[in-house]
Structure 1
Amino acid sequence: MSLKRRMIAAGFSLFRAAGLHRLARGAFSGRGVILTFHRVRPAEDEAFAPNALLEITPEFFDAALARVRASGLQIVTLDEALRRLVSGEGAAFAVLTFDDGFRDVAEHALPVLQRHRAPFMTYIAPGLVSRAARLWWVELEEALRRLDRVELGGRVFSARDAREKAVAFDRIYWTLRAQGEQALRDGVAVLRDRAEIDSVALADQLCLDWDGLKRLAGCELASFGAHSMTHPRLRQIPEDLARAEMAESRRVLEAGLGRACPHFAYPVGDPTSAGPREFALAAELGFSSAVTTRPGMIFPEHAACLHALPRVSVNGLWQNLDFFDILLSGAPFALWNRGRRVNTA
């Protein structure tokens, strides 16, 4: 376990042992929460799984939804949550959001959602649906799974076993994340080609196509939002390209599904990927809302910044209901954000 994970585990344990989250719930829980999910699928016994933080099991998903309602939160559509936020009326809410449109949302998450009668929002990058875009973070994982030795940017990484592969993934991932978007894509492409990975086949295996997306849209619980065309870190590309990515993704998605898709999620969504420029673009382009991955609860003050909404990621590394309760209290994010309710810098 990395130092960061040990520190997070220690923090969760401290909150649980002292009951701090129960004492703080009223002060830090705000009007509600927007939860982020990516993949829901059965657990696999895989020693090297660096993207496991993006996956939870159907069993934990089921238990988490039950715990959301037991905490007093009403699971509502994003439109209803925004209505309550702006009007100041209605009970505290939870919104369920899925990023990227993985197939297992339909295969494993949907039955749970239907059982709970829980509405949900799925943010779609049409380039992934058409297979024109790349799941670069998955390609990086798959390349390291296949290769025993990796050379990139003048550095050599040994990847003979699961431990070495995990270390190599972490170092390469963050090295590439520190670079511009094109440099990141080019770096992954080098490894993808060396490992002989078929990007289209990988996306086809993991992501919904248009037929699958339309079937999902047939569920009355489902809503859809745009997630850019090709999933770039928008803050790392020129403004005209960012605007085109955002506008075109909505146009293509609405044309493909035959329904309005007025909401947006910034790809990656952290401060290095979406900032004030992107928030202004989302407003300029007429999106009703836009969500980040900046951690936090929804407070009344967010009614004035609907294009920079925080979310709470349900992390696959922490599939523990006690820890989930702590997240729902909002207390960890009060510490993370140093007491600030709104973070739009």
Structure 2
Amino acid sequence: MSLRHKLFSAAFTALDLTGAAGWGRGLAQGRGAILTLHHVRPTLRSGFRPNGLLEITPGFLDRALQLIRAEGYEIVPLDEALHRLADPRPGPLFVALTFDDGYRDNLDRAWPVLAKHQAPWTLYVVPGFAERTARLWWRELEEAIRILPEITLDLPDGRFSAATRDDAEKGRAFDALYWRLRKGPEAILLAAISQLAARAGVDPVALVERECLPVETLKGLAGAPGVTIGAHTMSHPMLAGLPEEAARREMAESRRWLAETLGLDIRHLSYPVGDPGSAGPREFALARELGFASAVTTRPGHLFAAHAQHLHALPRVSLNGLHQSEAALRALLSGLPFLAWNRGRRLNVG
């Protein structure tokens, strides 16, 4: 775990020890929260796990659902969350559960736990993952660095080189290269990671096949009780880096594909990556223009009454795999970390 996340963990523990879930009630919780999840599976390995923040264990999900209800939250479908958000009358706190990307373990590992707790959930699907035409580039990068003993890349802004002989070196190399590539055009990011994957013998299509739900399984999931299917674009690009028409097409085509393939009304969208550098006011306007009932970001925060006027820029609370503790979850449910993160602002939609 990086120093940054160690500090987060210490802060969550300290906040929990103050009894924030009690004295902070009503101060920062708003009407409720939308939770972000990705993988739910047993921890596959220790050591080098740069994407470990994207996976929690089934056991932690089970404890989390119990704790959410113990803290006074009702777990509701996303449509019900929007209905409650629009209702000016005070009501019980609520949580909506959302899963991004469409991973196999969401069905194999998460769904049995969700069914046990009768917890509804939303799955945001990338058709390109289902059809094996899009890339899990962050996983390609992880696997390439896991295999290679050193990294050398000639990039437009200069050469990148790093030793990757042990877990510590691999972790530092991943962080440095990931954030350097994220600063530039996504085409350069994809080309660079393709080079590394080829050198390491990582098969991008096989990786998606192993991790993501296929079309036929999604068809079987469509219409299942308690499950809402949403769109997550066609190929999972960082939309803010695309020309406007390309961004619009990614959103619109994903909705059309899912509606035609699954026979469902697709009402909800999740922006890939979802931070301010990946989705902003232009994308919020496009989602509204295309007729989505809601669109979620990864900007951290709870939901307040004012979010009813910004349904295409909704914040979420991440169940982070690096902080799988009840203390961390109680701190997050208190809303207080986000009040500090957003400098006292309830809205972060710019």
Question: TM class, shorter-chain normalised?
Answer: over 0.9
1:110-140 per-position Cα deviation (integer Å, ceiling 9, x unaligned): 0001111111000011011000000000000
Which of 296, 319, 337 aligns to 2:324? It is: 319
Between stretches 245-254 and 15-24, larger displacement belongs to 15-24
For the residues of structure 2 that align with 1:278 and 1:80, how far apart are their CA atoms? 24
1:158-193 per-position Cα deviation (integer Å, ceiling 9, x unaligned): 111111111111111111111111121112111111
Task: Quote the residue 1:121 is aligned against.
Answer: 122
Tell me by how many angstroms 1:218 deviates. Answer: 4.8
Task: Quote the residue 2:16 is aligned against.
Answer: 16
For the residues of structure 1 that align with 2:172 and 2:294, how far apart are their CA atoms? 37
Matched residue type, 2:60: F
Identity across matched positions, percent? 53
Task: Quote the residue 1:231 is aligned against.
Answer: 236
Say whether residues 1:343 and 2:348 are aligned partners.
yes
CA contact (8 A) 1:77 1:121 kept: yes
Report SS of the residue matched to 2:283. helix
Report SS of the residue matched to 1:201. helix
Tell me by how many angstroms 1:20 deviates. Answer: 3.4
1:224-246 per-position Cα deviation (integer Å, ceiling 9, x unaligned): 10000000000011111000000
Between stretches 4-13 and 292-301, larger displacement belongs to 4-13
Size of the aligned set, in residue pairs, is 345
Tell me by how many angstroms 1:38 deviates. Answer: 0.1
Report SS of the residue matched to 2:26. helix
CA contact (8 A) 2:9 2:328 kept: no
Tell me by how many angstroms 1:262 deviates. Answer: 1.0
Alignment TM-score, normalising by the size of structure 1: 0.98
CA contact (8 A) 1:55 1:315 kept: yes
Report SS of the residue matched to 2:296. strand
Between stretches 146-155 and 309-318, larger displacement belongs to 146-155
CA contact (8 A) 1:149 1:160 kept: yes
For the residues of structure 2 that align with 1:217 and 1:169, how far apart are their CA atoms? 37
Task: Quote the residue 1:143 is aligned against.
Answer: 144
Report SS of the residue matched to 1:156. strand
Say whether residues 1:307 and 2:280 are aligned partners.
no
Alignment TM-score, normalising by the size of structure 2: 0.96
Tell me by how many angstroms 1:87 deviates. Answer: 1.8
Show structure 2 runs of 5+ residues with no match: none
Task: Quote the residue 1:112 is aligned against.
Answer: 113
RMSD: 1.1
For the residues of structure 2 that align with 1:258 and 1:343, how far apart are their CA atoms? 34
Which of 293, 297, 303 aligns to 1:298? It is: 303
Say whether residues 1:167 and 2:172 are aligned partners.
yes
Tell me by how many angstroms 1:289 deviates. Answer: 0.3
Distance 1:72 1:17, change over 3 A: closer
Which of 174, 184, 190 aligns to 2:189? It is: 184
For the residues of structure 2 that align with 1:287 and 1:16, how far apart are their CA atoms? 37
Say whether residues 1:26 and 2:26 are aligned partners.
yes
Tell me by how many angstroms 1:21 deviates. Answer: 4.1
For the residues of structure 2 that align with 1:92 and 1:22, how far apart are their CA atoms? 14
1:79-135 per-position Cα deviation (integer Å, ceiling 9, x unaligned): 011011112344221100000000000000000011111110000110110000000
Tell me by how many angstroms 1:24 deviates. Answer: 1.3
Task: Quote the residue 2:64 is aligned against.
Answer: 64
Show structure 1 runs of 5+ residues with no match: none
